[in-house]
Amino acid sequence: MKIIIPLAGIGSRLKPHTNTVPKPLMEVAGIPIVEYVILESIKLNPSEIIFVVGYKKKSIKDYVSKFHPKLNCSYVEQTKRDGDGSAVRLALEKIKKEEDIFIIYGADTLIDFDIRKGIKNNKDADALIFTKKVDNPSNYGVVDIDSTREIYEVEEKPIIPKSNLAIIGAYYFKSLLHVKKQLNSFYEKGITEKGEYRTVQVINSYIKTKDKSIKSVCVEEWFDCGRPEVLLNANRYFLKKKSSNKQIIRGTSLILPPSYIAKSAKIENCIIGPYASIGSEVVIKNSIVKDSVVSYQSEIKNTILKESLIGKQVLIEGKKSKLNLGEKSHFAIL
């Protein structure tokens, strides 16, 4: 099995953070987003993981080589950001032999689901689209299924949706070479969907020819971490899943669960949590920090902070309740 992880995007909705940090390296519950994707990918025992890089590609490569030096992986650069289908096509150009292919679209897609089980339970399917039931399906691409979960239609942000199963951007294809052939054909003919080459176009071709079985697999949880509020939601969810339920006294500070505090962080006279994620070498004094992500080497003094996203090496002093500050910012009300 080959796994393709496209992560060339700029992450404009997460600015100012992504001005200096690629979106996949933003942290959720103390772990970079891309790390969740890598760990899930490793569980599938792939023959190779192909990262499709672009924006701040060196940061991505440096992270993978540092924390996964033995990972069998390679890199393809997507210079023109013209869709996930284009990213997958570029990755497939370097693959010559037939294999199963599992595609994780973007390293900002966090899934809490046993993907192995989803594939195992649908061995007869030629392709799988991983989906999630949502309250606002008109904001997403959705699939329409029959009683056997067979997909018979895909709709892109329908005004009157026929289902609430949103496409989360994770796919499994049994035939790698068939996907390659289809994407190359779309590219050569200039066939796009709203100006982009999309992986879902392959699914549509399967549906039209009616000679392939395409099924929906619904996941328990999904976070599209492209916006600050969703990233904070993901932080809450994964902290709750990983953290103990015990309050902790750390020096002169009280830690309320669920929270994550790096060992190298220095906390003095504080209340931290619930739902706080505190990065390495962070210094917090005389403050209350809850429901927030605070990144590497930031310093917080005499502050009440909540529902905030704080980048690296940020200095915050004085009273403020909610902030969204990028790397090396300085915010003070004295």
* 216 and 279 housed in the same domain: no
Q: Is 18 left (phi over 0), alpha (psi -120 to 50) or beta?
A: alpha
Burial (Cβ within 10 Å: 0-12, 13-18, ≥19) of residue 96: exposed
In a domain, 199, yes or no: yes
pLDDT of residue 334: 67
Q: Domain limits at 311?
A: 243-333
Q: How many domains does the chain fold into? A: 2
Task: Point out the domain boundary residue: 229, 258, 275.
Answer: 229
Peptide bond into 32 cis (omega under 30): no
* 267 and 196 housed in the same domain: no
pLDDT of residue 321: 80
Q: How far apart are CA 108 and CA 225, in angstroms?
A: 5
Q: How far apart are CA 101 and CA 39, in angstroms?
A: 17
* 170 and 308 housed in the same domain: no
* 144 and 42 housed in the same domain: yes
Q: What is the largest CA-CA distance in the chain?
A: 68
* 63 and 143 housed in the same domain: yes
Which residues touch 94 (CB under 8 Å, ≥6 apart)?
50, 74, 76
Q: What is the CATH number of the domain that holds 209?
A: 3.90.550.10
Task: Point out the domain boundary residue: 229, 261, 296.
Answer: 229
Dig out the tokens for 137 from the structure: 């399906």
Q: How far apart are CA 9 and CA 18, in angstroms?
A: 10
pLDDT of residue 196: 87
Q: What is the CATH number of the domain that holds 248?
A: 2.160.10.10
Strand order in the sheet with 248-250: 248-250, 253-255, 271-272, 288-290, 304-306
Paired with 253 in beta bridges are: 250
pLDDT of residue 99: 83
Task: Point out the domain boundary residue: 178, 194, 229.
Answer: 229
pLDDT of residue 51: 96
Q: How far apart are CA 146 and CA 286, in angstroms?
A: 58
* 261 and 113 housed in the same domain: no
pLDDT of residue 226: 86
Paired with 301 in beta bridges are: 285, 317
Which residue type is seen at 330?
A: H
In a domain, 61, yes or no: yes
Q: How far apart are CA 281 and CA 278, in angstroms?
A: 9
Q: How far apart are CA 198 and CA 195, in angstroms?
A: 9
In a domain, 324, yes or no: yes
Question: 23 near 223, Cβ under 8 Å?
Answer: no
In a domain, 235, yes or no: no
* 188 and 91 housed in the same domain: yes
Residues of the chain falling short of pLDDT 50 = none
* 188 and 314 housed in the same domain: no
* 213 and 297 housed in the same domain: no
* 73 and 193 housed in the same domain: yes
First vs last Cα of the chain: how many Å apart? 57
Instruction: With residue 39 as reference, give the H or E element that holds it.
Output: helix 33-43
Q: Is 133 left (phi over 0), alpha (psi -120 to 50) or beta?
A: beta
Question: 109 near 210, Cβ under 8 Å?
Answer: no
| SS3 assignment, position 57 | helix
In a domain, 237, yes or no: no
In a domain, 187, yes or no: yes
* 41 and 165 housed in the same domain: yes
* 133 and 179 housed in the same domain: yes
From the list 2, 66, 54, the residue with the least C-alpha distance to 24 is 54
Q: How far apart are CA 295 and CA 315, in angstroms?
A: 11
In a domain, 291, yes or no: yes
Q: How far apart are CA 187 and CA 197, in angstroms?
A: 7
In a domain, 107, yes or no: yes
Q: How far apart are CA 317 and CA 300, in angstroms?
A: 6
